[in-house]
């Protein structure tokens, strides 16, 4: 495969190159309408053509934030590149929301939570001063920002991929902590293939917490 056509608000897969440098070619007029993961960099504006060179054994993903179909040309066949995360693998699957008892039976959930937020790809237990968030294997949260709060994430279980600001951190270890200031992009991807390997994070915040204070700039799960 040497090219892809990506509809608006969708993306390529997150892949890893082999032992050769990869060159991505995108029309100059469309270049300003993309988000780009290139290795550890997450770029959202002012992307020069030089950023479309992906080093050997590095990660890459293109998100179409423009209004038109995005045509991507590659200088080589990418079909043998390792797929790290496919945002659309379960797109046509039944979307059954998780129940709190499912997690209580499998994890030591602290008492005292005051609310829950069930989704088909994640589950949140809300406490007075923190959240516990489980992310399903092979799924990711939307890339999002907040206007009125900072957030910090502590990784309790799993080895997620974290987008925080303009950086991407791969397969991070438990006890790692990430700070997400107001108006900075952030997301969590669980790349684990085993069905029971949920990522678990403890989320804290400063400022005004409101579930509606979320700008989902890229949301492959289509959850509102």
Asked if residue 198 and residue 110 are part of one domain, the reply reads yes
Residue 223's pLDDT is what?
56
* Domain assignment present for 213: yes
Residue 224's pLDDT is what?
47
Question: Structural domain of residue 136, as residue ranges?
Answer: 100-218
Asked if residue 141 and residue 49 are part of one domain, the reply reads no
Q: What is the pLDDT of residues 41-71, one digit of tens each?
A: 999 988 888 899 999 999 999 999 999 999 9
* Domain assignment present for 90: no
Helix (H, G, I), strand (E, B) or coil at 151: strand
Asked if residue 208 and residue 154 are part of one domain, the reply reads yes
Asked if residue 185 and residue 119 are part of one domain, the reply reads yes
Query: pTM of this prediction?
Result: 0.94
Asked if residue 107 and residue 204 are part of one domain, the reply reads yes
* Domain assignment present for 154: yes
Concatenated DSSP letters of 1-42:
--EEEE-TT-B--EEE--SS-EEEE--HHHHTTEEEEETTEE
Asked if residue 130 and residue 27 are part of one domain, the reply reads no
Residue 104's pLDDT is what?
95
Which residue in the block uniquely carries the two structure tokens 């509809």? 7
Residue 209's pLDDT is what?
72
Q: Residue 185 pLDDT more than 90?
A: yes
Q: How many domains does the chain have?
A: 2
């Amino acid at each position: 495969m040497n090219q892809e056509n990506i509809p608006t608000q969708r993306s390529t897969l997150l892949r890893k190159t082999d032992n050769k440098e990869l060159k991505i070619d995108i029309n100059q007029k469309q270049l300003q309408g993309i988000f780009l993961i290139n290795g550890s960099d997450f770029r959202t504006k002012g992307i020069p053509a030089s950023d479309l060179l992906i080093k050997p054994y590095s990660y890459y993903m293109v998100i179409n934030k423009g209004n038109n179909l995005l045509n991507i040309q590659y200088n080589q066949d990418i079909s043998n590149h390792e797929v790290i995360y496919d945002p659309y693998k379960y797109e046509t699957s039944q979307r059954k929301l998780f129940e709190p008892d499912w997690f209580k039976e499998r994890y030591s959930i602290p008492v005292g939570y005051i609310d829950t937020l069930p989704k088909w790809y994640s589950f949140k237990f809300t406490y007075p001063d923190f959240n516990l968030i489980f992310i399903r294997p092979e799924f990711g949260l939307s890339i999002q920002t907040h206007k009125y709060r900072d957030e910090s994430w502590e990784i309790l279980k799993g080895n997620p991929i974290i987008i925080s600001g303009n950086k991407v951190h791969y397969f991070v270890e438990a006890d790692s902590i990430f700070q997400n200031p107001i108006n900075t992009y952030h997301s969590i991807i669980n790349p684990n293939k085993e069905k029971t390997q949920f990522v678990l994070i403890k989320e804290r915040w400063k400022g005004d917490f409101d579930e509606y204070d979320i700008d989902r700039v890229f949301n492959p799960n289509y959850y509102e």
